[in-house]
Amino acid sequence: MFGYRAYPTPIIRPLWPFLTAGVIVYAGINYLQDAAVSTPEAKKDPKNPYALKGGNGH
């Protein structure tokens, strides 16, 4: 009588568009950042931490 009831509350089904959009935005920003730090101008910048690795940040 007391306590938690087992209601079939959907959690993932209504949130899947937001989760999918989050993954797409994260991947897009990661791609743009890798492209931005691997330009010749960015490789010359002494403040660029990826310039020491000599590549696109990997």
Please spell the DSSP secondary structure of 2-34, one letter per residue: -S-------SHHHHHHHHHHHHHHHHHHHHHHH
pTM across the whole model: 0.65
Average pLDDT over residues 38-58: 74
Candidate from 10-14, 22-26, 29-33 with smallest mean pLDDT: 10-14
The whole-angstrom separation of Cα 58 and Cα 30 is: 12
* 13 against 48, higher pLDDT: 13
Give me the sign of the Cα torsion angle 22, 28, 34, 39. Answer: negative
Structure tokens at 32: 């743009």
Residue among 54, 22, 50, 53 nearest 36 (CA): 50
pLDDT confidence tier of residue 53, bands split at 50, 70 and 90: low
Q: Specify the residue for token string 């089904």.
A: 13
Q: Does 31 have pLDDT greater than 50? A: yes
Q: Does 44 have pLDDT greater than 70? A: yes
